[in-house]
Amino acid sequence: MDFDQVIPRLGTGALKWDGAAARFGKEVLPMWVADMDFAAPAAVQAALAERVAHPIYGYPCGGTAVLAAGANWMERRHGWRPDPAHMLLVSGVVPGLFAAVRAFSEAGDGVIIMPPIYPPFLAAVQEQGRELLMAPLQQDRNGHYQMDWERLEALLPHARMLLLCSPHNPSGRVWGQAELQHLGELARRQGVLVVSDEIHADLAYADHPHIPFPRLFPDSLLLSSAGKSFNIAGIGGAVAVLADERQRHHYAAELRRSQIHEINLFALIAMIAAWEEGGAWQEGVRAYLAANAHHLGQRLAAELPAFGYRVPEFGYLAWLDLRALGLDDAAIAQRLCDAGLGLNPGPSFGPGGAGFVRLNFGTPRALVDEGVARLCRAFGGK
Ligand SMILES: Cc1ncc(COP(=O)(O)O)c(C=O)c1O
């Protein structure tokens, strides 16, 4: 578990590294797409290597073991154990999110999201012919994001579903008990189904414990995976939890119709190994990321004080507010490109994203420092 080790990824077919030149128009230090530059847990590597050593890669079985491993993991990590009988396999969290919109709403129905948000949330609603109802998050004077209760109350009577990102990418928030409780009560009062994407949950820092939404509201749909938590996003695979039997059968039928109700051989093996044996690695990576988040904050405060940055409450995504620089998004992108740094542009996260960029610090500290050096080059830091 040497998270300081820089492991070259160029030439491995990694979207983040090998795909960066096509995306940004030149070679950059890639601090964009959400995976980390750390070796996966040794137990995951060993389990995959053992299976790869057997030369026949036919259809797998063993879905039940994956669901049990996932339920046990959630209990150990978050103190809440879903009933494995209430769980379904899905090929990925995003396919599961899209399928939920198809299963539980019809063309023209309203679906609420809270931008700025991970772009597939916007696509899941817009590209499937539903009405996008937006309740943008609000920042308080310290840059801390909050839900807009007034707007949510106004929109809920017009909605069938609400897509919650918990924790929230890119705002950095891990929603607290009172916020989740209030949201769930408002939604329940209007008969609105909450779909909670909790893929980042395991990466919640120690001072911001994550609360699984269905622990408070069992009538919701949870989607999660081991992809972010154990840095195995390219392998795929996810799980859904839905307690209500009728709704679960309805959702399972949609997953089957779309043929996204199974996971591949390697996902099966990696997910079981991660959930059963990856606990210590996961704790280690979380501590390293929290230290990176603070380190980044110190360097930005010292060298780029005009940047708005709040230490996030989970994971490796820094949501940087550059509005004080007075540059438009095209100028920000150009300066980053000239300085050789690949970040996600804020506008891709929907309303509230203009003037922001998202920086992925899930990388050895030496590369975080290199990223800050390039930010200074781009924006004239001290
Ligand atoms: C909130 C959120 N959901 C889902 C995903 C991707 O999920 P999957 O790869 O399982 O489709 C990401 C990846 O960045 C994410 O940030």
What is the whole-number distance in angstroms between the Cα of residue 94 and the centre of ligand 1? 6
Task: Categorize the per-residue pLDDT at 381 as very low, low, confident or very high, splitting at 50, 70 and 90.
Answer: low
Q: Would you state the pLDDT for residue 272?
A: 98
User: What is the pLDDT averaged over residues 165-186?
Assistant: 98
- Residues 44-74: tens digit of each pLDDT: 999 999 999 999 999 999 899 999 999 999 9
Entry pTM: 0.98
Ligand 1, residue 92: give the atom nearest the CA: 10
What is the whole-number distance in angstroms between the Cα of residue 93 and the centre of ligand 1? 6
Name the one residue in this structure whose structure tokens are 């999201």: 113
Beta bridge partners of 164: 196
Name the one residue in this structure whose structure tokens are 């540059």: 327
Altogether, the residues listed in the chain come to a count of 382
- Which SS3 state, helix, strand or coil, does residue 242 take? strand
Q: Would you state the pLDDT for residue 139?
A: 96
Contact yes or no for 202/282 (Cβ under 8 A): yes
- Residues 75-134: tens digit of each pLDDT: 999 999 999 999 999 999 999 999 999 999 999 999 999 999 999 999 999 999 999 999
Q: Would you state the pLDDT for residue 1?
A: 84
Ligand 1, residue 94: give the atom nearest the CA: 11
Pairing of strands 341-342, 110-113: unpaired
Task: Determine the Cα–Cα distance for residues 60 and 211; give it in Å rounded to an integer.
Answer: 33
- Residues 268-301: tens digit of each pLDDT: 999 999 999 999 999 999 999 999 999 999 999 9
Of the chain, the percentage scoring pLDDT greater than 90 comes to 98
What is the whole-number distance in angstroms between the Cα of residue 192 and the centre of ligand 1? 23
- In this predicted structure, the answer to whether residue 213 has a pLDDT above a threshold of 70 is yes
Contact yes or no for 197/166 (Cβ under 8 A): yes
Q: Enter the DSSP assignment of 39.
A: P
Task: Categorize the per-residue pLDDT at 380 as very low, low, confident or very high, splitting at 50, 70 and 90.
Answer: confident
User: Whose CA is closest to 66, among 280, 297, 275, 337?
Assistant: 275
Q: Which residues line ligand 1 (CB under 6 A)?
A: 34, 92-94, 118, 165, 169, 197, 199, 225, 227, 233, 238
Best of 33, 118, 230, 231 for a ligand 1 pocket test (most atoms within 8 Å of beta carbon): 118
Domains of the chain in sequence order: 15-41+280-379 (3.90.1150.10), 57-277 (3.40.640.10)
Q: Would you state the pLDDT for residue 382?
A: 62
Q: Enter the DSSP assignment of 259.
A: T
What is the whole-number distance in angstroms between the Cα of residue 303 and the centre of ligand 1? 32
What is the whole-number distance in angstroms between the Cα of residue 199 and the centre of ligand 1? 6
